[in-house]
């Protein structure tokens, strides 16, 4: 909407317009961020360029790689039995580590939908190197507009991606649309507690360029609107703190190496942002866990 058009809007209309524009901007910001060379090098160096989601830690100091893999295993444990005939879509697939895990272990076909072209290029390369590219379809696109027909999939997975959506309701609507009757929508996501003070959350929201975060209560509401029923919700807010503390510790330990491959300003902003996440997590303002819904 142009400035001239805004001049003729009521205050409420302007507020709604600004909110929609900010939401649309947040998607583009996420795309540009994950396409940046700094982000790509950082995630490759710290996570190995395969999994970039929150890990499940058994003890303090456990490696990010092991904890992240444990999240993959637990997520699959929430799904019905996977076979070679199971059709899966990974919404916000990033580098495709989870998709390759599914393809290698269960032989199922996985469609990887992801907004970052740079991440998708790495996914294609890693999948080919692992001789799994015949089981993976990697698509440049948004999970708010899934380019597949109705009832195409048995299971839809997503890991720590829905928070970046401009309209989380569309993500749920699209997930429900492409799932077969009885299909499962299973995901993790960094969330806020429903009663978290907005002023305390603001540094986290500013860091990720969002006006709000999802919550267990909000996701249950969105699911119910599109015909998805709750199967299981398992909350682990402590693991969000564990994970970001682990990432921050890695940055501090490998700071000189990181500023050799990433811009120093990027690394320093990352340190500051992680501290905001950790602080809010310890205050009880944040949440993370496994949410499982089934299409009625």
Collect all residues with Cβ–Cβ distance below 8 Å to 119 and sequence separation of at least 6.
34, 35, 40, 93, 94, 95
User: Can you tell me the distance from the alpha carbon of 127 to that of 105, in angstroms, rounded to the nearest whole number?
Assistant: 14
Is residue 1 helix, strand or coil? Answer: coil
Task: Report the pLDDT averaged over residues 254-280.
Answer: 96
Task: Report the pLDDT averaged over residues 133-153.
Answer: 97
Shortest CA distance to 188 belongs to which of 119, 90, 258, 109?
90
Q: Which tens digit of pLDDT belongs to each residue from 31-74?
A: 899 999 999 999 988 877 789 999 999 999 999 999 999 999 99
The confidence band for 107, taking pLDDT boundaries of 50, 70 and 90, is very high
Q: What is the pTM of this model?
A: 0.90
pLDDT at 20 over 60: no
Is residue 129 within 8 A of residue 96, CB to CB? The reply is: no
């Amino acid at each position: 909407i142009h400035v001239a058009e805004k001049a003729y809007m009521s205050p409420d209309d302007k507020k709604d317009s600004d909110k929609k524009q900010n939401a649309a901007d947040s998607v583009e910001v996420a795309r540009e961020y994950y396409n940046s060379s700094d982000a790509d090098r950082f995630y490759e160096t710290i996570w190995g360029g395969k999994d970039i989601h929150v890990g499940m830690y058994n003890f303090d100091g456990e490696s990010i790689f092991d904890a992240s893999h444990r999240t993959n295993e637990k997520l699959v444990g929430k799904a019905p039995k996977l076979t070679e005939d199971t059709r899966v879509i990974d919404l916000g697939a990033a580098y495709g580590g989870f998709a390759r895990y599914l393809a290698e272990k269960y032989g199922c076909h996985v469609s990887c939908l992801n907004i970052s072209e740079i991440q998708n290029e790495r996914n294609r390369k890693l999948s080919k190197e692992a001789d799994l590219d015949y089981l993976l379809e990697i698509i440049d696109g948004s999970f708010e507009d899934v380019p597949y027909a109705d009832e195409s999939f048995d299971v839809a997975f997503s890991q720590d991606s829905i928070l970046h959506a401009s309209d989380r309701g569309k993500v749920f609507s699209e997930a429900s649309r492409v799932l077969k009757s009885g299909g499962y929508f299973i995901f993790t996501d960094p969330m806020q507690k429903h009663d978290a003070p907005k002023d305390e959350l603001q540094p986290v929201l500013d860091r990720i360029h969002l006006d709000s975060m999802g919550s267990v209560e909000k996701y249950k509401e969105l699911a119910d609107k599109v015909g998805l029923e709750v199967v299981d919700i398992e909350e682990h807010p402590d693991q969000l703190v564990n994970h970001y503390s682990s990432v921050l510790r890695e940055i501090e330990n490998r700071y000189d190496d990181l500023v050799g491959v990433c811009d120093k300003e990027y690394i320093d902003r990352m340190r500051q942002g992680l501290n905001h996440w950790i602080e809010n997590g310890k205050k009880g303002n944040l949440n993370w866990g496994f949410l499982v819904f089934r299409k009625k």
